[in-house]
């Protein structure tokens, strides 16, 4: 068998380390078997998907050295590899299932669906579609469709029995059908949902093994039914444990930087980050901790994947990165430093900022220290200000952080306007409003222009610095909720 695996990220937001982790395991599995690793972009959610996000996914997976042999940017014989370009293919396939009676049109309004769900919640039942439109006659359906009534297409699900499947890592899994929803496969706008597109694409792209996050395990019954409705063999499945925060919750950007770009821009070596991600779910037969992706691929064996939720531990990652750095030859290390700090791109951004400000070349380094390296570790004292109290400082840091989470472009003027309108909405003088940001980003009240600095540092590092700055104040969970609420109220008028 020609092994084919895939990674199927959705281009929404920053490229997640979880995506790199899944990509690595799929890559290693394919490589071990001399097969192919492909990249598919799952952009059926048009409102949330962006081409910028897609570009950063490509860039950061390449930075890690995980190459794919087929994908939207490299082509391949089973394309297109972007789901938004496969509408015709989904249409043909759903028609096939409609003709065979495995799926049905559903005309229920949102209002009705909400009522059904609330009633089920009250009765403490699994919330799921109640099958109302299954009772429509063929004529009724035809009439509604020709009258142009908006509708979705749902899959039929057996009303009793269990779905039994094998997960290569966990063994036999059995899920009662009563917990399986009559999933919407085609939305009212004609776009497929993830569940439909993933099955059609995995089959047409000849995927033989699916290695993905354990959050998808409860979706397997839907997928398995679809494979059966089509009469297709199902790829083998491996559900990997999800990366977790130190408190065991799912890795989230609230508690940990999650973007691959953060680790790149903070000076982690790609091979160290990959090694760390490998350790999250895998151990070498000889249990050694330091190994390359090629060594991992050579030894790869699904039975050595651990099922326990691995903790993404920054301290351990830093330790490992240090091991890699110390193992570099002096020449290699100096090349990395030049590439990271003194590259042409950095210099051309920095020169216009510093040239007008210095009289001697020796003044340069202290001006840009927080840009080319970490800023100082902050304490509450750093935020002492004659007009702002700690609560106001926290409010600014939080609200700017929250606004930046939703902000996709990272251009100087946009950032400036965003902060200006936020200061206005918070009824603060712009000068005062900027103070906590200067300290949060640069470590002191006076630095080079704040917005130029943020552009230079990039979104991942800037956001992380503001997040760390709030941590100095040890805000309680309740305090955070209040901050979220007050930001939400404010953001409506932005
Ligand atoms: N687009 C899904 C995700 O990003 C893919 C899940 C899968 O691998 O089936 O999580």
DSSP 126-147: PP----GGGG--HHHHHHHHHT
Q: Is 8 in the pocket of ligand 1 (CB under 6 A)?
A: yes
Per-residue pLDDT of 273-290, as tens digits, reads 999 999 999 999 999 999
pLDDT, position 181 = 95
Interatomic CA distance for residues 289 and 276, integer angstroms? 9
Does residue 408 surpass a pLDDT of 80? no
pLDDT, position 427 = 94
Angle made by CA atoms 131, 134, 139, in degrees to the nearest 5: 155
Per-residue pLDDT of 75-125, as tens digits, reads 999 999 999 999 999 999 999 999 999 999 999 999 999 999 999 999 998
Q: Which of 12, 212, 235 to mutate to test the pocket of ligand 1 (most atoms within 8 A of CB)?
A: 212
Does residue 255 surpass a pLDDT of 80? no
Interatomic CA distance for residues 398 and 393, integer angstroms? 9
> Catalytic one among 144, 253, 255, 478?
253
Interatomic CA distance for residues 443 and 365, integer angstroms? 15
- Both ends of the chain: CA-CA distance in Å? 56
**Residue 274: in which H helix or E strand, if any?**
helix 270-281
Distance 455 CA to ligand 1 centre (A): 31
Interatomic CA distance for residues 46 and 28, integer angstroms? 31
Distance 246 CA to ligand 1 centre (A): 24
Q: Is 216 in the pocket of ligand 1 (CB under 6 A)?
A: yes
485 belongs to the catalytic site: no
Q: Is 238 in the pocket of ligand 1 (CB under 6 A)?
A: no
Q: Is 212 in the pocket of ligand 1 (CB under 6 A)?
A: yes
* Number of Cα atoms under 13 Å in the Cβ half of residue 218: 7
Q: Which of 10, 238, 258 to mutate to test the pocket of ligand 1 (most atoms within 8 A of CB)?
A: 10
pLDDT, position 272 = 98
Tokens of 152: 């979705």
83 neighbors 201 (Cβ within 8 angstroms):
yes
Distance 219 CA to ligand 1 centre (A): 11
pLDDT, position 13 = 86
Residue 273: name the closest of 258, 260, 282 by CA. Answer: 260
Strands 236-240 and 171-176, by their bridges, are: unpaired
Q: Is 43 in the pocket of ligand 1 (CB under 6 A)?
A: no
396 neighbors 420 (Cβ within 8 angstroms):
no
Q: Whose C-alpha lies nearest to ligand 1, atom 3?
A: 9
Distance 347 CA to ligand 1 centre (A): 39
Q: Is 78 in the pocket of ligand 1 (CB under 6 A)?
A: no
For the chain, percent of residues with pLDDT exceeding 90? 89
Does residue 246 surpass a pLDDT of 80? yes
Does residue 443 surpass a pLDDT of 80? yes
Helical ranges in 328-449 per DSSP H:
330-340, 344-354, 364-372, 390-405, 412-425, 430-442
pLDDT, position 409 = 82
Tell me if the bond preceding 80 is cis, omega within 30° of 0: yes
36 neighbors 4 (Cβ within 8 angstroms):
yes
Tokens of 212: 């993905």
Across 174-183, 286-295, 307-316, least confident range: 307-316
Interatomic CA distance for residues 363 and 258, integer angstroms? 35
Distance 9 CA to ligand 1 centre (A): 6
- Other beta carbons within 10 angstroms of residue 485's beta carbon come to 10
Which CA distances in Å does 313 have to 218, 243, 280, 317, 469? 27, 10, 10, 6, 20
Q: At what angle do helices 390-405 and 450-471 cross, to 10 degrees?
A: 110
Residue 442: name the closest of 452, 432, 433 by CA. Answer: 452
Centroid of chain to Cα 268: 19
pLDDT, position 309 = 84
Residue 375: name the closest of 319, 440, 313, 311 by CA. Answer: 440
Tokens of 86: 């496969």
Per-residue pLDDT of 141-159, as tens digits, reads 999 999 999 999 999 999 9
Mean pLDDT of 263-281: 96
Per-residue pLDDT of 350-396, as tens digits, reads 999 999 999 999 999 999 999 999 999 999 999 999 999 999 999 99
Mean pLDDT of 42-59: 93
Does residue 232 surpass a pLDDT of 80? yes
pLDDT, position 406 = 80
Does residue 254 surpass a pLDDT of 80? no
Interatomic CA distance for residues 40 and 219, integer angstroms? 19
What domains lie within the chain, and their CATH numbers?
4-84+243-323 (3.40.50.620), 86-234 (3.40.50.620), 380-491 (1.10.10.350)
pLDDT averaged over the chain? 94
Q: Which of 41, 49, 194 to mutate to test the pocket of ligand 1 (most atoms within 8 A of CB)?
A: 194
Distance 243 CA to ligand 1 centre (A): 15
CB-based contacts of 49, cutoff 8 Å, min separation 6:
10, 11, 12, 43, 84
């Amino acid at each position: 068998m020609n092994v084919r695996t895939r990674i199927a990220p959705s281009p929404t937001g920053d490229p997640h380390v979880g995506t790199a982790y899944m990509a690595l395991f799929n890559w290693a599995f394919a490589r071990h078997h001399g097969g192919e690793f492909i990249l598919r972009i799952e952009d059926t959610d048009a409102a949330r998907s962006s081409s910028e996000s897609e570009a950063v996914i490509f860039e950061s997976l390449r930075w890690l050295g995980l190459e794919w042999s087929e994908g939207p940017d490299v082509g391949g014989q089973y394309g297109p590899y972007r789901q938004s370009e496969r509408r015709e293919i989904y249409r043909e396939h759903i028609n096939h299932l409609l003709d065979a009676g495995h799926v049905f049109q559903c005309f229920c309004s949102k209002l009705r669906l909400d009522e059904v769900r609330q009633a089920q919640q009250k009765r403490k039942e699994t919330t799921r579609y109640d099958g109302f439109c299954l009772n429509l006659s063929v004529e009724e359906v035809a009439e509604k469709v020709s009258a142009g009534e908006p509708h979705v297409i749902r899959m039929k699900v057996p009303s009793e029995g269990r779905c039994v499947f094998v997960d290569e890592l966990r063994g036999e899994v059995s899920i009662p059908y009563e917990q399986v929803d009559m999933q919407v496969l085609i939305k009212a706008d004609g776009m497929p949902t993830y569940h439909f597109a993933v099955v059609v694409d995995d089959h047409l792209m000849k995927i033989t093994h699916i290695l993905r996050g354990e959050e998808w395990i409860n979706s397997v019954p839907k997928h398995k039914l679809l494979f059966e409705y089509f009469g297709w063999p199902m790829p083998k499945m491996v559900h990997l444990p999800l990366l977790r925060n130190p408190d065991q919750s799912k890795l989230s950007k609230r508690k940990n930087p999650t973007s691959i770009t953060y680790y790149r821009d903070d000076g982690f070596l790609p091979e160290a980050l990959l090694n760390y991600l490998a350790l999250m779910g895998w151990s070498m037969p000889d249990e050694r901790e330091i190994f390359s992706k090629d060594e991992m691929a050579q030894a790869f064996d699904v039975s050595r994947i651990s099922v326990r939720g691995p903790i993404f531990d920054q301290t351990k990652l830093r330790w490992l990165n240090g091991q890699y750095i110390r193992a570099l030859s002096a020449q290699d290390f100096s090349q990395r430093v030049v590439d990271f700090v003194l590259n042409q791109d950095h210099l051309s951004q920095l020169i216009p900022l510093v040239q007008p400000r210095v009289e001697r070349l020796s003044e340069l380094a202290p001006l840009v220290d927080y840009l080319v390296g970490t800023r100082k570790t902050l304490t509450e004292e750093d935020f002492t200000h004659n007009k702002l109290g700690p609560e106001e400082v926290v409010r600014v840091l939080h609200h700017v952080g929250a606004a930046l989470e939703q902000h996709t472009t990272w251009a100087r003027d946009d950032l400036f306007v965003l902060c200006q309108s936020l200061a206005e909405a918070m009824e603060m003088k712009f000068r005062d409003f900027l103070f906590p940001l200067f300290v949060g980003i640069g470590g002191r009240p006076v630095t080079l222009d704040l917005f130029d600095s943020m552009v230079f540092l990039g979104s991942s590092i800037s956001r992380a610095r503001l997040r760390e700055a709030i941590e100095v104040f040890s805000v309680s969970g309740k305090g955070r909720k209040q901050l979220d609420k007050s930001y939400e109220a404010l953001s409506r008028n932005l």
